[in-house]
Structure 1
Amino acid sequence: MTVVDALWRRPPRVPARAPQGAVVVEARDVSLSLGGVPVLRGVDLAVRAGQVLAVVGPNGAGKSTLLGVLAGDHPPERGSVTVDGEPLYAWSATELALRRGVLLQRVDVSFPFTVTQIVRMGRAPWAGTPAEDWDDEVVAGALAETDVAAFADRVFTSLSGGERARAALARVLAQEPAALLLDEPTASLDIGHQERILGLARLRAARGDAVLVVLHDLGLAAAYADTVAVLSAGRVAASGPPAEVLTAERLTEVYQYPIEVLRHPGTGAVLVIPRRDGPGDPPSPSPDPTDTTAASTT
């Protein structure tokens, strides 16, 4: 009997709740090339129970590819990925689905499923377990949390982009995995739903889930993440609390665009904005700190 046969034939192992701060999903020295081009280079990353980890970086930094590696969609060329302390391949597909849920940037559906049917698919890993008795309650809760209950009976393909994104997230929430891996969950949403979805991520973390969210919006990362990992050219340029990692100098260097980091005058919260010299004017080039040829003034 092969290892794969053994995984499929054994009853699925239902996960126990991880203690606060425990590593649920981890990448160690992960490297990967796609089409002969290096995309990830020696990445170390830990997604911990009870915390929100935001992965940010410019286009092409490797954010979505890293999420795919953590989810098991892209085997790394070097390094390892573990879930609950064991390699990805040690879990059956059902066991893995009980431990991590994945929201992709784009969700395509070819059949005329309703929103409720799509969300109920998230309960499939729990079939045959005592948790199956709670399916209706969990699905209803996920529909309400993502603000899609009002169109629960509509066909998924009839929804707008933002509505589809929220319905797809509801499916992942209904799955009730120990770790949520969310790729740009706010990309097609209005500002109110952006705040609501990131608030949900914080709520799930408060309940003990491990949450990784890939974001382009640095302001949302600063506001909702416990830890921010900045990717640059496939490497982790910095990782830590938002106030320590999201500095003007670092972000300007990574994004190759002048960025300012301010403190809110009332709350002290970190605010990240592009520098603008004036209405309609491009920003002046940032001085190169390595340039020693420029004349100094006193």
Structure 2
Amino acid sequence: MSENYIEKWLNGELSEQEKLEFENSPEFESLKKLTSSIDKFKAPELNKEKEWQRIKGSIQERSHQETKKSVQWFPTFIKVAAAIALLVTAYIYFFSNNITTVSTSIAEKKTVVLPDSSIVILNSLSSISYNDNNWENQREVKMEGEALFTVRKGSKFEVEASSGKIKVLGTQFNVRERESLFEVICYEGLVQVNKDDEEVKLTPNKIFRSFGGDYSLDEKIGLTPHLATDESAFYSVPVKEVLNEFERQYEVNISVKDINLQQDFTGKFTHTDIDLALKSITVPLDISYEIEGEKVILTKK
């Protein structure tokens, strides 16, 4: 049997006569067995809808398993994060919020002993604040008003006012910050004053003063800490500042007539006797005074 017959049979192109002759030939039986075996290897028909449902179900099951695993470790993560947050909050509260503040009202003074036994005498209407727990690492005091500091020797000691910063190691000094006046007096040791871009180092009897934007450096021999003796002392300060301090100490209102409030005053007044205090101010300025209850009237002679 020729190969041409086989090819035509495979393509269905044999005539009836040729087909009859081919089916009676020995080659036909061999070809029939071969085609039967090949048919067994045909891929089954694909049911698209059924296969899609199978794949979709598999995806959903895998997603559920992954979610279950995520849910198992997520509570642990939450617990760890909460513990860390609690520790951080406790640390911040302990070291940042444990601030000690001491303040005075009008006509009041206080003596404050700091954690290292340094001493602060607060004048009236003044305040200081410091971190008691962190004091060993950072001796820093924030202040407003006026205070006398007697600092025990040790690490750096800083006083921060809104007008400037004072740095010392162990010394005694006075800081006055009232409205536009900023003044630092050194009694013992060495004091460093930082004001804006200025840095000045004060030795005993030196006074740094800033008033209305102008800086000055003076020296007065024999300076003594006035707050320690219940006094207010002034060195070339406008009269207006002196009278303001008088009002803070004696809780009175002062009215003036024909007095130049910008003239300089050098002197001091006591905090314990209002008449003696007024004489200490009025006699050098050649003015008279009159007390009417809680009001003091000053008049040029």
Does TM-score exceed 0.5, indicating one fold? no
For the pair shown, the structure with the greater C-alpha radius of gyration is 2
TM, length-normalised to structure 1: 0.27
TM, length-normalised to structure 2: 0.26
Please state which structure has a larger fraction of its residues in strand: 2
Considering Cα pairs closer than 8 Å and 6+ residues apart, tell me whether 1 or 2 has the greater RCO: 1
